[in-house]
């Protein structure tokens, strides 16, 4: 992964920040401003969709909770017309149902709002170049969701299973390892780690095992 610092001005990803809290937007702007090019900001679903349509950014930093139907709604509306737009979801709630929901809608990554500036910049960079970003929390959710017996009625069996390697990578992410540390631990390249995470993301988005929805619901009952 290339190091993105303030010095690098060529090929800065063009970013739209979507969040209904002005104060939070200002904070993010301040933190990631030098490393990315912020082309627009929006505070609700409608204005976000309009801004994305107009500015055609590389990446949208998207709040999960948003007036007008939430981040999921933005993704749904934008992806119909601009399937290339990449979304990195950001949330303060950290609730499994919402996190899995926004990822299944099409976001390529999820981080919590208390993420530090440099970490956010690297996450943006990763997602902008087509990779996936999982927070430890999200990795935990995914491991949880994909654990247990496979539904007999499921059609895409392959999609309902994580490979041993994918599971290993997710476990390391959940343990707080960075991609680079994971690569070193498993004697593979960072690129391979990214491939595994992207593959997990794809399964998460495409798998139609009903447990996924059920699991997110049932979690709250335990």
E strands, 8-167, are 14-18, 37-42, 59-63, 86-91, 109-112, 133-134
Reading the block at residue 162, the tokens are: 């994580």
- How does DSSP assign 190-210, residue by residue? HHHHHHHHHHHHHHHHH---H
Q: Considering the rule CB under 8 A, would residue 119 count as an interface residue with another protein?
A: yes
Which H or E run contains 181? helix 179-186
Rounded-to-integer distance, Cα 198 and Cα 134, Å: 10
| Contact with another protein (CB under 8 A) among 21, 37, 118, 129 | 118
Pairing assessment for the beta strands 133-134 and 109-112 based on DSSP bridges: parallel
Residue placing its CB nearer to another protein in the complex, 81 or 210: 210
Q: Considering the rule CB under 8 A, would residue 168 count as an interface residue with another protein?
A: no
| Contact with another protein (CB under 8 A) among 112, 129, 192, 195 | 112
Stretch of 7-15, 30-38, 154-162, 170-178 lying at the interface with another protein (CB under 8 A): 170-178
Q: Considering the rule CB under 8 A, would residue 155 count as an interface residue with another protein?
A: no
Per CB under 8 A, residues contacting another protein are 1, 20, 64-70, 72-73, 92-95, 97-98, 101, 109, 111-116, 118-123, 126, 133-137, 139-140, 143-144, 147, 152-153, 171, 173-182, 184, 210, 213-214, 217-222
């Amino acid at each position: 992964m290339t190091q993105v610092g303030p010095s690098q001005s060529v090929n800065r990803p063009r970013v739209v920040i979507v969040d209904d809290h002005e104060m939070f937007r200002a904070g993010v702007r301040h933190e990631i401003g030098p490393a990315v090019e912020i082309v627009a900001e929006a505070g609700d679903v409608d204005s976000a969709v309009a801004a994305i349509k107009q500015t055609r950014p590389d990446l949208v930093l998207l709040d999960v909770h948003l007036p007008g139907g939430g981040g999921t709604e933005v993704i749904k509306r934008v992806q119909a017309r601009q399937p290339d737009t990449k979304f990195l979801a950001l949330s303060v709630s950290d609730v499994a149902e919402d996190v899995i929901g926004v990822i299944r809608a099409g976001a390529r990554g999820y981080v919590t709002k208390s993420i530090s500036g440099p970490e956010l910049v690297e996450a943006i960079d990763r997602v902008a170049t087509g990779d996936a970003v999982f927070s430890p929390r999200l990795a935990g959710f995914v491991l949880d969701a994909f654990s247990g017996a496979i539904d007999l009625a499921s059609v895409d069996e392959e999609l309902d299973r994580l490979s041993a390697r994918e599971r290993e990578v997710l476990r390391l992410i959940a343990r707080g390892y960075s991609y680079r540390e994971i690569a070193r631990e498993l004697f593979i390249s960072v690129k391979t780690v990214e491939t595994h995470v992207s593959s997990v993301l794809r399964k998460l988005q495409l798998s139609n095992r009903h447990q996924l929805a059920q699991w997110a619901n049932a979690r709250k009952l335990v």
